[in-house]
Amino acid sequence: MKAAVYYSTGDPDVLRYEDMPDPTCGAGEVLVKVEAISIEGGDTLNRARGEMPSSPHIVGYQCAGTVLEVGAGVDDRTVGQRVVATMLWGSHAEMVAVPGVLTWPVPEGADVAAVACVPVAFGTADDCLFEFGRLQPGETVLIQAGAGGVGLAAIQMAKRAGATVLATASSDDRLERLRELGLDRGINYADGDWVAAVRAATSGRGVDLVVDSVGGAVLAGSVQCLAYRGRAITVGNAGRDPQPFDISMLAMGNQSLTGVFLGAEITTPRARAMIARHVDDVAAGNLRAIVDRTYPLAEAAAAHAYIESRQAVGRVVLVP
């Protein structure tokens, strides 16, 4: 099979398009012919500086395609069935073998590229807002990086739940494209003091919940945006500038900070059912997974570079 591989971590140009051995389907697994690859934020971070279990290494958390083979012990998948799958690595390839428990059926007639973008982004957004964020109707939420995959999902879910939705992005143009998804107020963080802009947008009160996928210095600003008894969720580190966080900032406002990692619970019945609902919602058009651009798998380096240019609104998809 062909795959996008690298021999050392670094900039997008470390990616090479090469022949690799076909994966084998073990017990409890399914072998999938890949049709669409959603490049997740963690994919670019891993390529830049993550661990490499092998050399050459195939990066990638998520893809969708058709089941070619079903391993022993898997009784809920069939050859020829379309699925979306998550994995620790390996999605940037023409084929992948994954545990059956980490696959979800793709409804008939669904856009496979859109569905390929669902499990990690929509599952993470749901956990941040509801399972751990405890968002209630009538509350106000701030979503950092609103134009990213998690951000787009969170905007739609929060609005559907009856919240007032604020979000940040790097330009007015990107923010404008989010309004049709339910954004009430956009904050252009390139304009200067975005914390003051959030406080002004809430008449000085602050927000009840922040979903922060950026981390670093931005996380401290997110906490400053909280109302009394507000909750902050930290999920990932898209800002790539990890730094200590002064937890004493939370005390005076009786505020809380929770870290969220979907991967810790993705195989639980709760998370699997939740992701299945989102796959069905996207397939039916009740939620939207926005694909900004598609690239051939052979151009994975260009796709990663485009993501890191911070121009995309939504996901970038590779097609083998």
pLDDT for 64-119, tens place per residue?
Answer: 999 999 999 999 999 999 999 999 999 999 999 999 999 999 999 999 999 999 99
Judge if 144 and 258 occupy the same domain. Answer: yes
* CATH number, domain containing residue 299: 3.90.180.10
Sign of the Cα pseudo-torsion (185, 227, 235, 162, in order): negative
Range of the domain at 221: 120-263
Judge if 129 and 259 occupy the same domain. Answer: yes
Judge if 110 and 164 occupy the same domain. Answer: no
pLDDT value of residue 240: 59
* Confidence label for 192 from pLDDT (cuts 50, 70 and 90): confident
47 within a domain of the structure (yes/no): yes
Judge if 304 and 209 occupy the same domain. Answer: no
CA distance 212 to 142: 8
280 within a domain of the structure (yes/no): no
pLDDT value of residue 216: 87
Q: Check: CB of residue 128 under 8 Å from CB of residue 211.
A: yes
pLDDT value of residue 72: 97
CA distance 235 to 16: 30
Judge if 57 and 164 occupy the same domain. Answer: no
* CATH number, domain containing residue 255: 3.40.50.720
In the chain, how many domains are there? Answer: 2
Judge if 172 and 56 occupy the same domain. Answer: no
284 within a domain of the structure (yes/no): no
Q: How large a percentage of the chain has pLDDT more than 90?
A: 92
pLDDT value of residue 241: 66
Judge if 80 and 137 occupy the same domain. Answer: no
269 within a domain of the structure (yes/no): no
Judge if 128 and 113 occupy the same domain. Answer: no
Strands 207-212 and 140-143: parallel
CA distance 257 to 218: 14
Judge if 259 and 160 occupy the same domain. Answer: yes
pLDDT value of residue 197: 96
pLDDT for 227-278, tens place per residue?
Answer: 999 999 999 776 556 678 888 889 999 999 999 999 999 999 999 999 999 9
270 within a domain of the structure (yes/no): no
Q: How far is CA 70 from each of CA 26, 82, 88, 182, 276, rounded to the nearest angstrom?
A: 8, 12, 19, 40, 20
103 within a domain of the structure (yes/no): yes
The arithmetic mean of pLDDT across residues 121-142, rounded, is 98
Average of per-residue pLDDT values in the chain: 96
Judge if 136 and 9 occupy the same domain. Answer: no
pLDDT value of residue 238: 65
The arithmetic mean of pLDDT across residues 194-219, rounded, is 95
The arithmetic mean of pLDDT across residues 188-199, rounded, is 93
CA distance 152 to 313: 8
**Other CB atoms closer than 10 Å to residue 81's CB: what's the count?**
15
The answer to whether residue 195 scores a pLDDT higher than 60 is yes
298 within a domain of the structure (yes/no): yes
The arithmetic mean of pLDDT across residues 174-203, rounded, is 95
pLDDT value of residue 149: 94
Judge if 19 and 37 occupy the same domain. Answer: yes
In angstroms, how far is CA 155 from the centroid of its own chain? 13
pLDDT value of residue 114: 97
pLDDT value of residue 75: 96
Judge if 91 and 125 occupy the same domain. Answer: no
271 within a domain of the structure (yes/no): no
Minimal CA–CA distance to 297: which of 123, 112, 92, 117? 92
Q: Residues near 292 by Cβ (< 8 Å), separated by ≥ 6?
A: 312, 313, 314, 315, 316
pLDDT value of residue 246: 87
